[in-house]
């Protein structure tokens, strides 16, 4: 594709060189540059892409997009140099052009919020596929282009990969693309310019405050998905969430609100919860439907209501909505049940925020005849403020707590645990705590083994934090580690004793 075609819609500050040059590839990583590449220099958090312009040119870059003009460069270049004020915005627009704007050929559905994004996207996909549609999926667990599944890197990938996945979905015959949209992706403009037909807001609770300055900054990032929607697009918004109610006044799109309180457009009534699933009646603008789901917990009622809103906005018949919800048996790492065969239950869940952990434990406690043993940790190099809050939640809602490591990354695992323990000790001194005690076992494998060995008939072991993840990051190394595998192995060893 010619450079002049690639840069349509890009706001340029200055241009030098011939724009009638053939571009074979676009990247912001100098390691990926090959002859004929358009290299976009982006200032990142760990390094600045402008430092690698010389390397990119040496490898055969055919053109540059930079936030610094040619007059600021110490080397003399004969290739085109395009100066912009925002390289991230520029590469997002270039990505759309490079892949021929796939969102024009597919209905793009985005789901954002702190918790529930993955489950909601799986529900939407199940409903749409049950109505004889081909559906692509982009999210935390994996990417699916309508034919092949690939491992996910980011919840929402960088602009070039994001648009490339959408193009693959179109080429595979998908009518819909359902994607999780993280606050990082919105703030870093990975989905800038993408034409979403429907956007979903689940909730907003504390997370990612290592990246966002505060909760207001976090909210502003999430709101970007809705502030650019036009009246012909649809927003599905959780009215029970205070940030959701604020969104109702921000967006210009048509709205379906959902919730269990007040006057939401889509509501749940006569809700019955059990360890085997959820049953309730959904009141919608299209009529009343009876819902049966294998998913567990009141928080999944909200996820189901959100998916119903999307389905209605896509004109899916109500009978297809209910059958699509029923067809989803589980979501990887979300209240994923492991049969011990020893009279107690084990659940693995991705809950890694205070709110998610509270919702998980509140749901699980309703199905636990005896005691609930909770195992969790907090990630390193991430929001430190939530660590004592998660410790407090665990000790208030569990019968016994084991604190361990969860992707310590470059931080000292013991130091992370100390911060978690501050919240535990505060709660242990209060009168409303439930737990009889807690234990610290930094090694996660040993901690899981201890939790399994402690369990007795009627107990529930909750292993929280990693969910579907099959790795543990220590330092800069990512080693294979899967909570589900470790739990099954601990059960096997206990059976052999």
Region 3-97: CATH code: 3.40.1390.10
**What are the distances in angstroms from CA 22 to CA 4, 25, 62, 458, 460?**
9, 9, 8, 67, 61
Domain 101-327, CATH 3.40.1190.10 — does that match? yes
Share of the chain above pLDDT 90, in %: 92
Q: Give the pLDDT score at 417.
A: 98
Rounded CA separation 172/163 (Å): 14
Rounded CA separation 401/64 (Å): 54
Q: When comparing pLDDT for 227 and 312, which is higher?
A: 312
Give mean pLDDT, residues 110-128: 98
Q: Give the pLDDT score at 75.
A: 61
Residue 318 pLDDT exceeds 70: yes
Q: Give the pLDDT score at 70.
A: 53
Q: Give the pLDDT score at 432.
A: 62
Q: Give the pLDDT score at 46.
A: 81
List, for residues 389-417, the tens digit of each pLDDT value. 999 999 999 999 999 999 999 999 999 99
Rounded CA separation 196/228 (Å): 9
Residue 1 pLDDT exceeds 60: yes
- CATH class (in words) of the domain with range 336-496: alpha beta
**What are the distances in angstroms from CA 297 to CA 159, 178, 358, 367?**
35, 23, 11, 10
CB distance 363 to 299 below 8 Å: yes
In the predicted model, what is the mean pLDDT of the chain?
Answer: 95
Give mean pLDDT, residues 24-36: 97
Q: Locate the domains of the chain by residue range.
A: 3-97, 101-327, 336-496
Q: Give the pLDDT score at 69.
A: 65
List, for residues 275-302, the tens digit of each pLDDT value. 999 999 999 999 999 999 999 999 999 9
Give mean pLDDT, residues 353-359: 95
Q: Give the pLDDT score at 68.
A: 82
List, for residues 44-63, the tens digit of each pLDDT value. 888 899 999 999 999 999 99
């Amino acid at each position: 594709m010619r450079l002049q075609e690639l840069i349509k819609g890009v706001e340029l500050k200055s241009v030098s060189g011939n724009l009638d040059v053939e571009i074979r590839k676009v990247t912001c990583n100098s390691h990926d540059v090959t002859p004929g590449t358009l290299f976009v220099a982006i200032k990142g958090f760990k390094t600045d892409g402008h430092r690698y312009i010389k390397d990119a040119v040496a490898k055969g870059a055919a053109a540059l997009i930079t936030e610094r003009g040619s007059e600021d460069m110490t080397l003399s270049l004969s290739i085109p140099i395009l100066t912009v004020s925002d390289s991230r915005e520029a590469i997002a627009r270039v990505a759309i052009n490079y892949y021929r704007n796939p969102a024009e050929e597919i209905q793009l559905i985005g789901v954002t919020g702190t918790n529930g994004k993955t489950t909601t996207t799986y529900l939407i996909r199940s409903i749409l596929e049950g109505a004889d549609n081909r559906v692509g999926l982009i999210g935390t667990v994996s990417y699916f282009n309508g034919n092949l599944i690939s491992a996910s890197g980011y919840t929402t990938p960088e602009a070039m990969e994001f648009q490339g996945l959408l193009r693959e979905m179109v080429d595979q015959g998908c009518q819909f693309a359902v994607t999780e949209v993280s606050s990082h992706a919105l703030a870093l403009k990975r989905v800038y310019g993408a034409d979403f037909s429907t956007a979903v807001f689940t909730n907003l609770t504390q997370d990612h405050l290592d990246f966002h300055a505060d909760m207001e900054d976090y909210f502003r990032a999430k709101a970007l998905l809705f502030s650019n929607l036009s009246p012909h697009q649809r927003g599905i918004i959780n009215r029970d969430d205070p940030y959701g109610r604020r969104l109702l006044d921000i967006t210009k799109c048509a709205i379906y609100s959902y919730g269990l309180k007040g006057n939401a457009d889509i509501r749940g009534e006569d809700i019955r919860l059990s360890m085997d699933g959820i049953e309730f009646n959904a009141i919608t603008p299209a009529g009343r439907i009876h819902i049966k789901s294998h998913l567990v917990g009141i928080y999944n009622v909200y996820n189901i209501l959100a998916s119903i809103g999307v389905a209605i906005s896509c004109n899916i018949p109500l009978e297809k909505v209910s059958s699509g919800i029923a067809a989803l048996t589980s979501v990887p790492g979300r209240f994923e049940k492991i049969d011990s065969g020893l009279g107690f239950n084990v659940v693995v869940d991705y809950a890694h925020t205070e709110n998610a952990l509270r919702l998980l434990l509140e749901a699980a406690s309703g199905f636990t005849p005896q005691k609930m043993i909770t195992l969790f940790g907090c990630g390193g190099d991430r929001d430190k403020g939530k660590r004592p809050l998660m410790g407090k939640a665990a000790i208030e809602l569990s019968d016994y707590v084991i604190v361990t490591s969860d992707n310590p990354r470059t931080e000292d695992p013991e130091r992370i645990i100390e911060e978690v323990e501050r919240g535990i000790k505060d709660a242990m001194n209060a009168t409303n705590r439930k737990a009889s005690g807690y234990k610290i076992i930094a090694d996660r494998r040993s901690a899981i083994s201890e939790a399994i060995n402690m369990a007795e008939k009627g107990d529930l072991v909750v292993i929280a934090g990693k969910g579907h993840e099959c790795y543990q990051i220590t330092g800069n190394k990512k080693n294979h580690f899967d909570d589900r595998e470790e739990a099954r192995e601990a059960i096997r060893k206990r059976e052999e004793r």
